[in-house]
Structure formats: structure tokens, C-alpha cells
Structure 1
Amino acid sequence: MKIYDISQEVFSCSVFPGDPQPQRVVVQSLKNGDICNLTELKMCAHNGTHVDAPYHFLDNGKTIDQMGLEPFVGRCYVTHHTGDVTENDAKTILKNAGDGRDRILIGGRCTVTADAAKVFADAKIRLIGNESQTVGPENAPREVHLILLGAEVVLLEGIRLAKIPDGNYFLNAAPLNLGGADGAPCRAYLIE
């Protein structure tokens, strides 16, 4: 069994333009004579490797704690792509996915188009992941998010797949259980 960590380190992670950079605050330190080392975290729910719940773009959508773990854990298919993921690209990805069809992870510098998002939503996949900090176009992510989150396809953003060969894997991207939140950080990994 081989395990691949596909997560970013939080404090040095990429952030979406305008989002705050995560911060580590030392609250207590053994070096300062405190009883233990204690860290406080300051971060956005969408920093680094994270998941989006439907509530991120839909007022009546499910929050992260309402999602259950099923979408985030199970078989997945990893593929790589450069540029826009078109409708035809999405159909090809689904055809190649086989047993990993429920969860699709796309590596590379790519953007899921609205037409591709409709293909994935219509196929009723549970999760789509990508390396960017947003699944749609960075300058206009709303439409793609509405299509996917409206179909309750959760988004796994900010993963790292450069060293992962195309193929089927077992994914665990369980988010932190943040009540009422629109997303959450996660430690995503693949098992071969």
C-alpha cells in the first residue's frame, strides 16, 4: 500500500486573491516556561487544501457539517489537464474514470468550464478536485460553483497532484467538522 499526501502545508499555502494568509500564533511555549506548547490558528476556511460545501454559494445549501463524509472518502480517478476543461474533455474524463467515476481529481493548470461542470453535475459525481484555489475561472468562479454545488457536487480545491500518475485511487479528504461553515480545510491523501 502506498499513501500520497496531496495537501498543501497550511502556513505557506496558496490563497485565493483577497483571502487572508493563514497565521500561526504561539499562545504558550515550553521555551518561555509555559506548561506546554500551544498554537492558535488564524485562517480562512478556504485556505490551502480545502473543500467547498454548497452553502459557499447557495444560501439554502448544505453547510460542511451537514454534508456527511461519503462525498469525501472513497474511490476516485486522477487525471491531468492543461487549459480549459471543455464539455468533451469532461466526457472523456468520465469515460476513463471507470471505478473512480464518483470522485474526479484533475491535476495541472486547468479551469473547469461551465459546460464541463454541467457534464460532471449531470453524471451525479460526488466530488471534483483541482490544484487551483478555485475550480472555475479565478476572475469569475460563480457560475461553475453554482452548477456544481447546486447539484451537491462538493469541491476539493488546492490539492497537489504533480507527482501522482493518472489512475484510480482511494481518496480521503474529510474536512474539519465546522458547524455552519461554507467550507473547511482538510488533509487530503490518496491510497494506491
Structure 2
Amino acid sequence: MFRDLSRPIETGMPTYPGDPDVTLAPDATHETDSYGTSELRLGTHAGTHVDAPQHKLPDGETIDERGVGRFAFDARLVDLRPLEPREPIPPEALPDVDDFGADVDLLVIRTGWESHWGDDRYHDHPYLTAAAAERCRAAGVGIGLDTFGPDPTPSAAADTDDTGPTTATDDEPAGTPAHDVLLGDSLPIVENLCGLDGLPSRFRLYAFPLRLRDADGSPVRAVAEWRE
């Protein structure tokens, strides 16, 4: 079985605050040029993508320096639902280091936040604590998430109500500690996954990036494979 776990790349799709907007527009058309081509503009962290260590480390490994086989993962799904907006995920919510599994190299964390894609609530996803990231690092396991990333994302609005965006709280960590822990040990981070409903607990995840020279990340076509 195969399943696409990646977001469609399209004009106006959600992007992390401050990242470039995405546009996909015709360049040549069959009506005027007798053939079709399109122009695509996007950032390296648009949509479903993988981070390279250089995303956080000036001298870190770039996306094209990693062997292509390092983007094919033995994944384990951890469903943590239900979670509250901007809820910190402690290490106790993850498997013990000795229970990760010797053949697991990516932990796919399901927060349920993929259902908020396209609205401001998507900014208010749960996030990994630094201690939870350290547990992954100790096991030598990267992470995939159905969110903008493992660290808190700036809120889309300053007001809090029962249905809209939630204001960041004072006890949220400064900076990007989960990114720092994982990328500092060259562990992969795959962000903005979707289609996690009904996946088995174990599967293969392919997240091959574009071969971008000296890049800090890349959009991917994330595909799960498993046997029924």
C-alpha cells in the first residue's frame, strides 16, 4: 500500500510566518505558445518538507550533501491525540528510549493539527519540549509531524477566544530548542505531513528532497508504504 502524506503545492498555500509566499502560475500556454510551462516560486520550507542541519547550523550539512538513502525511513507512528492548542509534549508522551525499536529511524508524531491546515489555528499546534527532543536524540531517531514544526510557531493573532487563534504563553521556550537538539545531531525533521489517519503503527516513509545546491531544506513528496 502507498499513501501520499504531502501537501499539494499551490498558490496561496499556508507558509510559516515570514517565509516566502507560494505562487504557481502559467508561464507559457497551449493557447498562445502551443505548449505549457509554469513558474513556481516558493521557499525551501514550503509545504511538506525536510530540514537540513544547515537550517539551524551555519556550518551544518546541506540538503544536497546528504545521501539519497537517508531520506527513506523506517517510521513509527505515535498518535498523541487529543492535544490542546500550544500544548507542550513532554518526553513521557513518547516511547522510552529502549522501546523505540532498533530499526526505527523516524518517529511520526500525530497531533491532529493537520485538520487546521488553511486556518489561523494551524499556528497554534502542540510542540515538542527540549527534553522530548533529547529523548529522540538519545535514541538516534528523527521526527515527522503534522505541524509547522517541532517548536512553537508565532500566533496568527493576538487575541484568544474559544474558536480562534491562541496567544502564545509566557512559559513557551524562546528560540527553537527542539530544532537545535535534533539538527545539531544531524537527525531528520519532516514537517507539515498530512493523511496520517488510518496509517499502521509501522511503515516506510519516503521523503526525497529536490537536489538543491547548498540548501537548508527542501519540499518533498512524502509517501508512506506498508503491507496489509
Q: Relative to structure 2, which stretch is displaced further, 133-142 or 37-46?
A: 133-142
Contact 1:131–1:160 (Cα < 8 Å) also in 2: yes
- How many Å apart are 1:100 and its aligned residue? 5.2
CA offset digits 1:135-155 (Å, max 9, x no partner):
211144521111110010111
1:180 aligns with 2:214: yes
1:107 aligns with 2:110: yes
CA distance in 2, matches of 1:100, 1:21: 38
Which of the residues 138, 142, 146 maps onto 1:131?
146
CA offset digits 1:85-125 (Å, max 9, x no partner):
21112334872x43652111111243111100011111112
Map of 1:116 onto structure 2: 132
Letter in 2 for 1:76: A
Map of 1:149 onto structure 2: 183
CA distance in 1, matches of 2:128, 2:98: 14
3-state SS in 2 of match to 1:146: helix
- How many Å apart are 1:25 and its aligned residue? 2.4
Question: Equivalent residues in 2 for 1:40-79 (5 A)?
Answer: 40-79=39-78
Gaps spanning 5+ residues in structure 2: where? 114-125, 155-173
Identity of aligned residues (%): 28
Structure 1 stretches of 4+ with a deviation exceeding 6 A read none
Letter in 1 for 2:56: F
Contact 1:26–1:39 (Cα < 8 Å) also in 2: yes
Contact 2:97–2:139 (Cα < 8 Å) also in 1: no
The alignment's TM-score, normalised by the length of structure 2, stands at: 0.76
Cα distance 1:3–1:136, how it changes in 2: closer, same or farther (>3 A)? same
The alignment's TM-score, normalised by the length of structure 1, stands at: 0.90
Letter in 1 for 2:210: L
3-state SS in 1 of match to 2:208: coil
**Computing the radius of gyration over CA atoms, which structure comes out larger, 1 or 2?**
2
CA distance in 1, matches of 2:95, 2:62: 29
Q: Relative to structure 2, which stretch is displaced further, 113-122 or 63-72?
A: 63-72
CA distance in 2, matches of 1:141, 1:131: 20
Map of 2:19 onto structure 1: 19
